[in-house]
A and B are shown apart, each in its own frame.
Chain A
Amino acid sequence: NAGVTQTPKFQVLKTGQSMTLQCAQDMNHNSMYWYRQDPGMGLRLIYYSASEGTTDKGEVPNGYNVSRLNKREFSLRLESAAPSQTSVYFCASSPGTGAGGTQYFGPGTRLLVL
């Protein structure tokens, strides 16, 4: 089992460019999440999907959009990247259909916005 996979691993963008971060899980989990991790801030939830076909805002949703493509895949889109979005982005999944529970994380995408 691969667990949670994320692409790309690294990305450099210029201010104003757009990109989509991809996430897939092979554990048949119902819920999926996008977090960002910044020094001194801990992990903060951007968006989550408690079940296929639903998405909800987390703590820091501004500047991001998400799509739950199917049960396996959950993508995060930056429409117009800003330097404040420089961060490490983690996707996670959990078996339940709520916003919490034991979550399993991917390896992360490191994004630098110049």
Chain B
Amino acid sequence: EDQVTQSPEALRLQEGESSSLNCSYTVSGLRGLFWYRQDPGKGPEFLFTLYSAGEEKEKERLKATLTKKESFLHITAPKPEDSATYLCAVQTSGSRLTFGEGTQLTVNP
């Protein structure tokens, strides 16, 4: 059974304090790893898809990386508007997405 674990459950940062969120997974035959951002009371918003170990993608202050066992979402010099819950999901061959429970990020001004 595919498993996705996100850590930490919650993270509080000061504005400008860089950090990383972790998504570790146990699957056979990864086809894709997805990162989403979810604001309170809203639906998940797509950020990145990573397909193979070593791949990296960037968007503004966010950078996602992928290894054979985990993915990191690096946040550089975060701003209060980066506060949200960040969700990770994996897809294996022929299967649906399996989501982690998310990391709730708070960035204080």
- What chain B residues lie within 8 Å of A100 (beta carbons)? 31-32, 91, 95-97
Q: Which residues of A contact B (CB under 8 A)?
A: 4, 40-45, 48, 58-59, 90, 92, 98-108
Near A by CB (< 8 A), chain B positions 49-103 give: 49, 87, 89, 91, 94-97, 99-102
> In terms of DSSP, what is the predominant structure of the interface of chain A?
loop
Bound CA–CA A101/B46 (angstroms): 11
Q: Which residues of B contact A (CB under 8 A)?
A: 4, 31-32, 34, 36, 41-46, 49, 87, 89, 91, 94-97, 99-102
Q: Is the CB of B46 within 8 A of A104?
A: yes
Q: Is the CB of B43 within 8 A of A103?
A: no
Residue of B nearest to A43 (CB): B99
> In terms of DSSP, what is the predominant structure of the interface of chain B?
strand
Q: Shortest distance in angstroms between A45's beta carbon and chain B's nearest beta carbon?
A: 5
Q: Is the CB of A42 within 8 A of B97?
A: no
Known contacts A42-B99, A42-B101; is-contact A102 B34 (Cβ 8 Å): yes
Q: Most B CB atoms within 10 A — which of A92, A102, A108?
A: A102
Q: Is the CB of B43 within 8 A of A45?
A: no
